[in-house]
Structure 1
């Protein structure tokens, strides 16, 4: 049995996929993977809560002990004495035999830990699936946080399990829209809060939204006894033997060094080894590589790196460089270092949220469709959001401002000037423009602009991302 712990939010689409697999005739092999802390186990607990299930959580321990624990779980479910088994083949034979008598969900969580101890485990599972699971109505769920192991040892072409899965779920952190079901602040504070916790359910649910954001940061992150105070270091130690260099790379990216040359200069790591470290961090989904939206991601030399998780970006920007001061005087660090700089940190998150608004607007028919949406830069010029619709020669150019003053015509002129430098499509391309602003727009700006311009204040952003407007924008 699994005990229910954290409050379960959203994930209706993922639950629906698991339910329909279980309810379909025949057996299933369902693969669930995603970054650590993203809520995979909570999702599986919710799914299993009203179904007969065997839940086995693998651990970093000797293979024999792992196998004994799995057999113990199976015997306990069927209320039997634990049989002796000498190897994975016998353990899976025993499980397969029992599944002929009852329809059960069998979850093996943190499956990569079994593979680490014995890389033949996927072959034993393949034998079990082909010879016994197929003869039953049961469902096997293989779950793991090591995305690279799940992709190579379970989903990859070389894996014995290739072609055996009937469905898969790559569980992602919550988008801002999804996170709003947890964050009960007003829109501006919700965006600030999301810029600190990101969309990881565990981090989101640690904040008490009845208190101020400052109080949450001080009690949940800046307190040496708080879980989040050491969380990134714990995550890296779980995944990597020597995390020190990775820590320094993440800190340099969080502080604004985004190109390989800048990261190399800030960390003192030569470009050869650095590219391997960056590759590992990408594989762990801790950083993302961006290229301008008009460029080819494989060929472009204009790559930039960013931390893929808002909480890690916040932690490496404010906690890691100030640890000794935090241990002495956390309030002074918050008031003197974090609070004055927070708008700059939040501005980056705001751009991501505005991209989400564009995609949501496309989905609801409120924004013209674009097949690609992303950032654009060349030399000194940057545009926060560029959308491309190649079939219609249509381009969207947008800027996002997280400032305390309303936006005026200076930003309009600036965007028009930069638009001329975006080399894409024919000379008579169809240009659309958008401005997103935390503090709204100066009076009369909307009247000065033609129908190719869209203005989004926080109220419009809230409207587009709230479920209430789903049927008619």
Structure 2
């Protein structure tokens, strides 16, 4: 198992508890939730069922009953349950008959798919927990789902039978750069930092996607095969992601497409116009669901009074699909080998490098050696100037972070120097802040240390810091 130390520790702690445990695990599709749960609990899982995508109530019950018959022959002669009340009665019957000491784990995977329309699944699951599980100290019930919005609304924030019943919740996120490098090395793929960044920009840290990379390939060959060859593993992944996660995915896809076409973070009103959506409840719900699922990130404004939060598409694969895969299908085996060298790609990759840096703020703070100083992260924008990462520290110091993706050292020329000066001046004037305001550079290969560099740059970090353990 690569990474996931914190998650494994939290899950296995439940095996030592003297109380019944109800745990909710959620995260985007393909992120490794099921693998993690099976790894953490191994021989402790006494019953496991996975919801059937798109299945009716009857088919879900058939799947559930089928799993019961696998773990106990006594159900072979039973009739299939006609509703969830009968199904959970059978599960109680099975658990009651289990022998042995120690915790017994019940694992319900893809819970949102089991909970079909008007099936009363949630009601009877809540009844199962409240009237049976809570009376036993030997049970751990783990519910899991890729539809993060469902898990948050109907399990984590449930106001009904499951209200305040959760022991804890775990959101499983894609691998960090540190974990991605470790995973590739476990497959004897020993690429350098820059090559791993190229891969991360295209497909992110989703373990399932990373598992498709083959030893002996260059990063260009791997992206070509997975994303552009006729039968590539990720050629048609985009539509499958959203259709499987969201019941009505048209609004979600419209928002994702709008954000994917932009090279900056945008405020809500601009996103409504760009996505051609009405700004009512349906839009808000779709945006909240995309944020909860990890596809979209929201960054607070430095001045909280303005409420000008910025939204950006933070799922690397979705961005890469919309920009390069979708419009370039069936372009031949040498397509990516030619395109990745072009300036247009390097420029586009620069914005995505910024997003990756925003996901690795803890590593940037570690490089700044301010782990022990309380600090907050935000964004700031003014007409003609924008900073996507502002770190305000309690030692009266503010870092305006400039993040640049280049194939060599970045040079601060006359125009770049004027731009950086303007950001500092406008930031001070707009916020009226009295703290020290400095420029922090995070680049791929560093910054040429010319006169302009020494005049404006306070901190200078290369991409290696992003690969540190948080």
TM bucket, shorter chain = 0.7 to 0.9
Alignment match, 1:321: 327
Q: How has the CA–CA distance of structure 1 residues 263 and 223 changed in structure 2, closer, same or farther, with 3 Å as cutoff?
A: farther
Q: How has the CA–CA distance of structure 1 residues 92 and 243 changed in structure 2, closer, same or farther, with 3 Å as cutoff?
A: closer
Residue 166 of structure 1, CA deviation: 1.3
Deviation sequence 1:167-199 (CA, Å, 0-9, x none)? 211111222232222244211111111111112
Alignment match, 2:34: 41
Alignment match, 1:133: 133
Aligned positions of 1:103-182 closer than 5 A: 103-136=103-136, 137-182=138-183
8 A contact 1:384–1:400 mirrored in 2:
no
In 2, the alpha carbon distance for the partners of 1:294 and 1:435 equals 19
In 2, the alpha carbon distance for the partners of 1:88 and 1:415 equals 62
Deviation sequence 1:409-458 (CA, Å, 0-9, x none)? 644553233112115766531334311222322245699469x8111123
In 2, the alpha carbon distance for the partners of 1:337 and 1:448 equals 32
Residue 220 of structure 1, CA deviation: 0.5
Deviation sequence 1:333-388 (CA, Å, 0-9, x none)? 65247854321232123223434554225357713635322432211112242111
Deviation sequence 1:301-358 (CA, Å, 0-9, x none)? x454321200110001111223xxx324352465247854321232123223434554
- Structure 1-normalised TM-score? 0.84
Q: How has the CA–CA distance of structure 1 residues 443 and 321 changed in structure 2, closer, same or farther, with 3 Å as cutoff?
A: same
Aligned length: 449
In 1, the alpha carbon distance for the partners of 2:216 and 2:324 equals 24
3-state DSSP of counterpart to 2:161:
coil
Alignment match, 1:5: none
8 A contact 1:261–1:271 mirrored in 2:
no
Alignment match, 2:19: 26
Alignment match, 2:209: 203
- Structure 2-normalised TM-score? 0.84
Aligned to 1:233, which of 231, 234, 239? 239
Q: How has the CA–CA distance of structure 1 residues 405 and 160 changed in structure 2, closer, same or farther, with 3 Å as cutoff?
A: same
Deviation sequence 1:203-244 (CA, Å, 0-9, x none)? 122122531111111111112312210000111222456656
Name the Cα RMSD after superposition.
3.1
3-state DSSP of counterpart to 1:31:
strand
Alignment match, 1:442: 448
8 A contact 1:383–1:399 mirrored in 2:
yes
In 1, the alpha carbon distance for the partners of 2:361 and 2:50 equals 40
8 A contact 1:407–1:437 mirrored in 2:
no
8 A contact 1:358–1:367 mirrored in 2:
no
Unaligned runs of 5+ in 1: 1-7
3-state DSSP of counterpart to 1:116:
coil
3-state DSSP of counterpart to 2:182:
coil
In 1, the alpha carbon distance for the partners of 2:342 and 2:72 equals 56
Deviation sequence 1:90-112 (CA, Å, 0-9, x none)? 32122223323344211111111
In 2, the alpha carbon distance for the partners of 1:261 and 1:447 equals 37
Query: Could you tell which deviates more after superposition, 160-169 or 116-125?
Result: 116-125
Query: Could you tell which deviates more after superposition, 53-62 or 345-354?
Result: 345-354
8 A contact 1:374–1:386 mirrored in 2:
yes
8 A contact 1:435–1:454 mirrored in 2:
yes
8 A contact 2:108–2:142 mirrored in 1:
yes
In 1, the alpha carbon distance for the partners of 2:434 and 2:309 equals 29
Query: Could you tell which deviates more after superposition, 252-261 or 178-187?
Result: 252-261
Aligned positions of 1:312-351 closer than 5 A: 312-322=318-328, 326-332=329-335, 335-336=338-339, 339-351=342-354
Alignment match, 2:383: 379
Aligned to 1:67, which of 61, 77, 94? 61
3-state DSSP of counterpart to 1:227:
coil
Aligned to 1:311, which of 293, 314, 317? 317
Query: Could you tell which deviates more after superposition, 232-241 or 375-384?
Result: 232-241
8 A contact 2:296–2:315 mirrored in 1:
no
State yes or no: 1:453 paired with 2:447: no
8 A contact 2:229–2:332 mirrored in 1:
no
Residue 20 of structure 1, CA deviation: 0.4
Alignment match, 2:422: 417
8 A contact 1:355–1:385 mirrored in 2:
yes
8 A contact 1:407–1:439 mirrored in 2:
no
